Amino acid sequence: MTERKKSLSFETCILIAAVLFIACPTGIPKGTAYIYVRFMLPGNLTNASAKKPGSMIIGPESGWNIASYRLTFTEDNGEVITKTIDKAGGELSIKAGNWILLAEGLTADGAVIVQKETQVLAQAGKRISIQIMLHLAQGKGSLQLAFSPNQSLPPDWRYFISLEYRGLPGDPTFQGPALLSTDIPATQMDYQVNELESGNYSLSVQVRDTSSASIAGCIATVLILPEQTSIGSCSISLPNPSATISLSTPKLELSANAAIAIERYLNRNRSVLVPFAIAEGQTNLDVEWYQNGVKIEKAQEEATQCLPGHRVFLAPSEESDAQMSISMDALLSDRNSGISQAFSNSSSLLAGPLSDQIEWVQSIDYKAALSPSLHNRNNPENAGTGNLQMAKWVAASPSGLIAVAGLDESNALHLFYSPSGKQAALGGSGYEIPSSVGWIRLWRDKISIGKDKKNPDIVSISLDGSLIAAAASTGKWIRLYRLDNSGSIASKIDIVSGLDEAPEFGDIRAMRFTADSARLFILANSPTKVLVFNTEKLFNGEHLCEKESSFAELFSNSPSPSISMQDMMLLDDDWIAACSSKKAIVFFVKYSSINNSFASGTMFESGPNSESLGEPRSIAFDDSNDRCYVISHNRKLHLFEKLDPLSPYALSMTFSLSADLNDVKWLALVKKSSGGTYLVTGGNNGLGIISLDANGHPITQSSLNSQEANPSGIISVNNVAVLGESIILTGYKSGIVAMFDILGL
């Protein structure tokens, strides 16, 4: 082809293309892009906008809903284009380019509530779809809070208020203001704060008397929005005393220590029994009971064989199933001086979850720390915070002591006493105190070592109730308490890894006292070993470990020095059972208390037909039959027994459990006086009950789950303790400690 023909052909193509372009009216204009945008609000803000009356979220009442969205596009050359849409999604056109987009959600009066900055590359002739996750805009707002006590408060009492910043919804990187705390007279009916940074706050209000004891309190979440006012109320619920009590109870301290049961939730089908303790030496004190303001004209019940040094009185109760709440007041009068003082207890009566094998009895929450205590009354650390926290661990002793880690503050340890199972006298006749009796609060101790707050999540109590050990599973410390007969703290010491001749330890998985309280066994994972401390030497200032041994030393065929142990149990026949979840191994080690020495034992790495043991999580022991149970994560229950008293433990049976008992963390054994034996499991799926036959084999299995709003607190069980024939569990994030009874024989 000649050059002239090529040129004509090229010019012809250009002409045809130009004609086609002009003739096509539906073509996309050059330099324009289309964007479909959708806005998403942060979840905290969405929930607040849909809050219901009675909820614990305080926010603006009205006028802050987003009416429109403003989009400001800024190009690299400084050009700015602003567009507005009135819906949470829509399409718009914009000149092609590389834009910085600032999206803002506006109220009807133009206040910016939410915003987000992002980059948009708009290409000519193309459509793009973007979803913008908005966050709460930075700005200033205000709070108006009204106090609504159910009765007039004394003029010398005060409200203690704290606002703790929790974050900017949608923007976890924003650092808010420091803790705001103040106190105002209890006669003041409202409180206002201006110029608050926007975001979520935790509000805590406490009512304190002249001795700074917390009498009542409330908690709520406050949402502050830019240029908006959050309005809410704080209900202060004090028990309603009768007119006689309110007129005859000046706020004077009596010469006797006194305590009343904690605030709690109760099963409507159970009678309500409220305990009250006074020093035995105060014989000239009278106790009168008032139920919902009405004096109880019945014989006084008194418990026997309870806390040494104290008399425990019980309020007689004939509770109606129809009554949904109860306010029980104890009026303590000194016959010699005539001084009187009222101590009050309020409870909620609710129907708990139903099961064929187990019955919910009662639950306690953070308000337990707001009630009077028997010990440490003048210690400022004894007053509760009124802030809901996780209930991380519970331990109990046959003497009736109940220790709880967490509950109302992360670094707090609480000690309660339950007279359940003890004998009481009423009108000359005796009876056994039921499990529905309230708990007496003994003390609350905040654990700090040096200047550092420590957060315990493992607790152990000795069988005689004389010692308590508290530690953190991720920490390198142990707090040890020595108690007197009445549960008061006689002394306390701290063991810190590597300090004062203490051994190196960390990642604590289990703590167990020997039956005589002479030694404390610690199972640690960092490194993996068992530590044995002499408790008497510890309180004499000797932090040396009496015995230290690793499983690699005890077993020549141990898989590795670090095998990630999970649980340990001291058996009554001088054997120690331990398990590794990661390596799926169960160990039995012989221990001599006389020589304080370990002997090589038995290691189990598989079950019948060489099946895996699963992931062993927890151990329980039946001392009357020398039966040891190990439960695994994959719904397997292993039974270990001895052929004769002199032989070692052997795996006799492995049982498959129902699907309801999956994801188990904890195992405990309960023996009833009627002869029945049960295994209780706790985990992320709630509570499980396994009844055993005479051979220790499972007969029936059942489970009990709960909705989050249910005060039984069993939606997720962190650990389980046994008190007499009752079960006590920690509900972890629910902040609840709950008690259950097993039904049947």
The answer on 103 and 37 residing in a single domain is yes
Does the pLDDT at position 476 exceed 90? yes
Helix (H, G, I), strand (E, B) or coil at 438: coil
Does the pLDDT at position 181 exceed 70? yes
According to the per-residue pLDDT averaged within each range, which of 264-273, 544-553, 569-578 is highest?
569-578
Distance separating alpha carbons of residues 291 and 287, to the nearest angstrom: 13
Q: Are strands 158-167 and 199-208 parallel, antiparallel or unpaired?
A: antiparallel
Provide the β-strand partners of residue 112: 106
Of the residues 114, 136, 158, which one is the last residue of a structural domain?
136
* Residue labelled with tokens 């034996």: 677
Least trusted range by pLDDT, from 150-154, 334-338, 459-463:
334-338
Residue 178 lies in a domain: yes
The answer on 121 and 154 residing in a single domain is no
Q: Which two tokens stand for residue 81?
A: 């284009």
Quick one: pLDDT band at residue 448, thresholds 50, 70, 90? very high
Helix (H, G, I), strand (E, B) or coil at 659: helix
Range of the domain at 161: 140-236
Of the residues 186, 213, 236, which one is the last residue of a structural domain?
236
Distance separating alpha carbons of residues 301 and 426, to the nearest angstrom: 5
Task: For the sheet with 440-446, list strands across it.
Answer: 391-396, 401-406, 412-417, 440-446
> Residue 92 belongs to a domain with what CATH number?
2.60.40.1120
Distance separating alpha carbons of residues 692 and 673, to the nearest angstrom: 15
Residue 606 lies in a domain: no
The answer on 228 and 188 residing in a single domain is yes
The answer on 164 and 126 residing in a single domain is no
Residue 563 lies in a domain: no
Residue 401 lies in a domain: no
Distances (CA, A) of 642 to 27, 576, 588, 603, 649: 88, 14, 12, 14, 5
Q: What is the pLDDT of residue 23?
A: 42
User: Among the residues of 415-558, which ranges form H helices?
Assistant: 535-539, 551-554
Q: What is the pLDDT of residue 729?
A: 96
Of the residues 115, 136, 157, which one is the last residue of a structural domain?
136
> Residue 227 belongs to a domain with what CATH number?
2.60.40.10
**Total number of domains in the chain:** 2
Residue 214 lies in a domain: yes
Does the pLDDT at position 669 exceed 80? yes
Read off the pLDDT of each residue in 387-410 and give the average, rounded to a whole number.
91
Q: What is the pTM of this model?
A: 0.69
One-letter amino acid at 409 equals: E
Read off the pLDDT of each residue in 472-479 and give the average, rounded to a whole number.
94
**What's the Rg (C-alpha) of the chain?**
33
Does the pLDDT at position 192 exceed 90? yes
Which of 602, 545, 606 shows the shortest CA–CA distance to 577?
Answer: 602
Does the pLDDT at position 658 exceed 80? yes
Residue 688 lies in a domain: no
Q: What is the pLDDT of residue 11?
A: 53
Distance separating alpha carbons of residues 492 and 476, to the nearest angstrom: 17
Dihedral angle, C-alpha 627, 631, 634, 636, nearest 10 ° = 20
Give the rounded percent of residues in the chain with a pLDDT score beyond 90: 36
Residue 716 lies in a domain: no
The answer on 84 and 38 residing in a single domain is yes
Least trusted range by pLDDT, from 61-70, 325-334, 342-351, 422-431:
325-334
Does the pLDDT at position 263 exceed 80? no
Q: What is the pLDDT of residue 482?
A: 98
Residue 66 lies in a domain: yes
Least trusted range by pLDDT, from 61-75, 521-535, 564-578, 614-628:
61-75
